[in-house]
């Protein structure tokens, strides 16, 4: 039998994480591309959560001073079509970011409407591609860093940066929204 499709690395990492940490949940793969990458159900299959998964390699080893690199766990770069976020049918988007140096994977779990709202506030509205550079510090903070100058990048690395709209820490490895939806 010839496979019709394969899952990408991000989908595998999310599925593997969920199977390890939430053994009571079932993870389903759709048979066609609908904008939903994974479907998660509770044990009774009475509640479902749909996930759109986006993967990035770790860009932290590039174009940064050694001092700033030493303070970062990972830096991801995603390019999205604004319309895909706006029209997403997924309950949550999971941005997957494996660390080049730390041997762990970080997940940013966010509702698509909230993600787009923040991207609009940070970068303005566009009908084209939206670039997102999420940076994770070793202290466990997550920031949208695209468009920031070197001084602000250094403030992020040393936990001195303050900007509520760019702060994605509340979504970093936070599976509670999915947990809550699957308990219903």
**Is 164 within a domain?**
yes
Please say whether the beta carbons of 48 and 115 come within 8 A.
Answer: no
Query: What range defines the domain where residue 128 resides?
Result: 9-183
What pTM does this model have? 0.93
**Is 1 within a domain?**
no
pLDDT at 1: 45
Domain count, the chain: 1
Phi-psi region of 124 (alpha: psi -120 to 50; beta: other; left: phi over 0): left
For 72-114, what is each residue's pLDDT tens digit? 999 999 999 999 999 999 999 999 999 988 889 999 999 999 9
User: Minimal CA–CA distance to 90: which of 22, 38, 42, 127?
Assistant: 38
Residue with the larger pLDDT of the pair 53 and 184: 53
**Is 39 within a domain?**
yes
Q: Torsion angle of alpha carbons 166, 170, 171, 175, nearest 10°?
A: 180
Q: Is the pLDDT of residue 7 over 80?
A: yes
Q: Torsion angle of alpha carbons 20, 22, 94, 11, nearest 10°?
A: 50
pLDDT at 116: 96
**Is 3 within a domain?**
no
**Is 105 within a domain?**
yes
**Is 136 within a domain?**
yes
**Is 123 within a domain?**
yes
Residue with the larger pLDDT of the pair 46 and 91: 91
**Is 2 within a domain?**
no
């Amino acid at each position: 039998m010839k496979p019709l499709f394969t899952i990408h690395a991000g989908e595998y990492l999310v599925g593997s994480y969920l199977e390890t940490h939430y053994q009571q949940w079932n993870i389903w793969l759709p048979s066609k591309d609908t904008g939903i990458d994974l479907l998660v159900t509770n044990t009774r299959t009475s509640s479902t959560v749909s996930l759109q998964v986006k993967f990035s390699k770790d860009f932290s080893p590039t174009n940064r001073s050694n001092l700033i690199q030493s303070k970062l766990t990972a830096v991801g770069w995603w390019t999205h079509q604004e319309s895909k976020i706006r029209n997403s049918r997924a309950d949550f988007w999971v941005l997957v970011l494996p660390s080049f140096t730390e041997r762990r994977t970080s997940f940013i779990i966010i509702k698509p409407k909230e993600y787009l709202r923040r991207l609009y506030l940070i970068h303005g509205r566009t009908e084209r591609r939206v670039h997102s550079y999420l940076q994770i510090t070793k202290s466990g903070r997550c920031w949208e860093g695209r468009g920031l100058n070197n001084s602000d990048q250094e403030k992020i690395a040393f936990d001195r940066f303050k900007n509520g709209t760019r702060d994605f820490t509340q979504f970093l490895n936070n599976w509670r929204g999915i947990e809550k939806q699957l308990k219903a």
